[in-house]
């Protein structure tokens, strides 16, 4: 009896420890967490996913279950319009079917489900997602230009998928074609994936910057998120688009996407326009306290990282660090104390860092400055 009681107590203790770990931030650790920015909420979105209703391998409700596990606020099941490899097994002439199956379940679980579809053509234009649509069936149009006009008639937000896809670009280099240039000039193309699944395209980022396109990052998941991104063992995360919206609603997400207020979270790297990344980084990194060590001119400066990113900083300040080299990693959801050698006692000084795992243009990283006031 004592042995059974001991086992029960140990099991209860283990379950309590797991619960404490999961609830440290109010939900399981695998939830993707980034703070809000001034004037906007940070809405976590994965807007390119598939199910058995095109070439995916799961039922639509699984995508909602995964979103709940990962703390995703908004998803879109963008089934291929033209490519239906499971048609003999799951015949469905209605291309809205996966959305219809999942929308009540998503709404009941406070997940925004955005109606979408993937326009699937050879290059050009390649593959593009149309989201915020009303009826996917009306996008079954033969002419490649007319299908984009049909999407515009539904007030869709349209983005170019995996422009670096080696099946259509053997060299992996994203390039604008005359067709894409016409789509942009006619306001038929609004965004571009700089990240798709496991790849990042610097060329796509440059295209976005030069043509004022919304920067997107998606999982393009076909199987299971846990299998493709090793989320369950804590070594990975799915790529997502962080959308900076006025509220957590479908209309606000759409407004933010059209206004280009996004950043991408991919492989412990943040990617976006400087105007969007800097507010996010300043919200992620908060200076907690700054005091001089007793009888020394070495300042202890504590910075809290409130994000999921282990942010890698290069010291650009005129001061060297006592316990760190020129590079400092601020661990996700932890406080780090830097020992700053100011030489003289100062009331105020600035710490300046380049964030090496944040990208604002190909081979360019943002710089953040912390005004330090000594206590």
Band of pLDDT at residue 230, cut at 50, 70 and 90: confident
The tens digit of pLDDT for each residue in 102-113 reads 999 999 999 999
Residue 248: predicted pLDDT: 98
Nearest to 52 by CA among 41, 43, 63: 63
Coil, helix or strand for 247? coil
Residue 204: predicted pLDDT: 98
290 bridge partner residues: 301
Residue 233: predicted pLDDT: 77
Q: How far apart are CA 48 and CA 355, in angstroms?
A: 28
Band of pLDDT at residue 170, cut at 50, 70 and 90: very high
Would you say residue 272 has pLDDT above 80?
A: yes
Residues 165-185 have a mean pLDDT of 96
**End-to-end CA distance of the chain, in Å?**
58
| Lowest-confidence pick of 85-89, 120-124, 257-261, 358-362 | 85-89
What is the Cα 15 distance to its own chain's centre? 31
Residues 210-228 have a mean pLDDT of 97
Question: Cis peptide before 236, with omega less than 30 degrees from 0?
Answer: no
Would you say residue 253 has pLDDT above 60?
A: yes
Residue 141: predicted pLDDT: 96
Band of pLDDT at residue 27, cut at 50, 70 and 90: very low
Residue 13: predicted pLDDT: 39
The tens digit of pLDDT for each residue in 37-64 reads 999 999 999 999 999 999 999 999 999 9
For the chain, the average pLDDT equals 92
Residue 361: predicted pLDDT: 98
User: Around Cβ 8, how many Cβ atoms within 10 Å?
Assistant: 10
In what helix (H) or strand (E) does residue 66 lie, and over which residues does it extend? helix 60-70
Would you say residue 23 has pLDDT above 80?
A: no
269 bridge partner residues: 266
* Joined tokens for residue 155: 């007030």
Residues 206-214 have a mean pLDDT of 98
Residues 133-138 have a mean pLDDT of 98
Would you say residue 254 has pLDDT above 80?
A: yes
Would you say residue 148 has pLDDT above 90?
A: yes
Band of pLDDT at residue 216, cut at 50, 70 and 90: very high
Residue 136: predicted pLDDT: 98
Q: How far apart are CA 329 and CA 319, in angstroms?
A: 17
Q: How far apart are CA 139 and CA 98, in angstroms?
A: 16
Band of pLDDT at residue 206, cut at 50, 70 and 90: very high
State pTM to two decimals.
0.91
3-state helix, strand, coil in the chain (%, to 5): 25, 30, 40
Residues 86-105 have a mean pLDDT of 94
Q: How far apart are CA 319 and CA 350, in angstroms?
A: 9
Residue 232: predicted pLDDT: 80
């Amino acid at each position: 009896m004592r042995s059974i009681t001991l086992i029960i107590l140990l099991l209860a203790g283990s379950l309590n420890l797991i619960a404490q770990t999961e609830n440290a931030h109010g939900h399981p650790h695998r939830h993707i967490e980034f703070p809000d920015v001034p004037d906007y909420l940070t809405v976590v979105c994965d807007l390119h996913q598939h199910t058995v209703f095109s070439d995916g391998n799961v039922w639509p409700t699984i995508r909602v279950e995964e979103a709940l596990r990962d703390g995703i606020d908004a998803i879109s099941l963008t089934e291929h319009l033209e490519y239906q490899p499971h048609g003999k097994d799951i015949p469905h002439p209605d291309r809205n079917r996966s959305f219809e199956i999942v929308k009540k379940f998503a709404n009941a679980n406070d997940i925004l489900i955005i109606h979408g579809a993937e326009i699937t053509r050879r290059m050009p234009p390649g593959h593009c997602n149309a989201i915020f649509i009303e009826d996917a069936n009306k996008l079954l149009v033969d002419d490649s230009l007319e299908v984009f006009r049909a999407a515009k008639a539904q007030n869709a937000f349209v983005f170019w998928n995996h422009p670096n896809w080696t099946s259509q670009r053997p060299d992996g280099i994203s390039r604008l074609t005359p067709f894409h240039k016409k789509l942009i000039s006619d306001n038929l193309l609004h965004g571009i994936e700089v990240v798709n699944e496991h790849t990042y395209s610097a060329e796509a980022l440059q295209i976005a910057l030069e043509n004022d396109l919304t920067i997107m990052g998606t999982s393009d998941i076909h199987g299971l998120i846990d299998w493709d991104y090793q989320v369950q063992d804590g070594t990975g995360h799915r790529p997502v688009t962080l959308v900076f919206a006025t509220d957590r609603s479908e209309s606000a997400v759409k407004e933010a996407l059209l206004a280009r207020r996004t950043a991408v979270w991919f492989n412990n790297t943040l990617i976006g326009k400087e105007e969007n990344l800097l507010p996010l980084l300043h919200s992620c990194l908060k200076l907690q306290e700054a005091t001089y060590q007793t009888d020394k001119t070495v300042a202890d400066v504590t910075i809290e990282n409130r994000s999921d990113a282990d942010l890698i900083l290069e010291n650009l300040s005129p001061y060297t660090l006592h316990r760190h080299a020129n590079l400092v990693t601020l661990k996700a959801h932890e406080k780090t104390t830097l020992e700053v050698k100011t030489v003289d006692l100062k009331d105020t000084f600035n710490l300046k860092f380049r964030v090496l795992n944040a990208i604002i243009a190909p081979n360019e990283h943002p710089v953040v400055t912390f005004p330090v006031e000594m206590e």
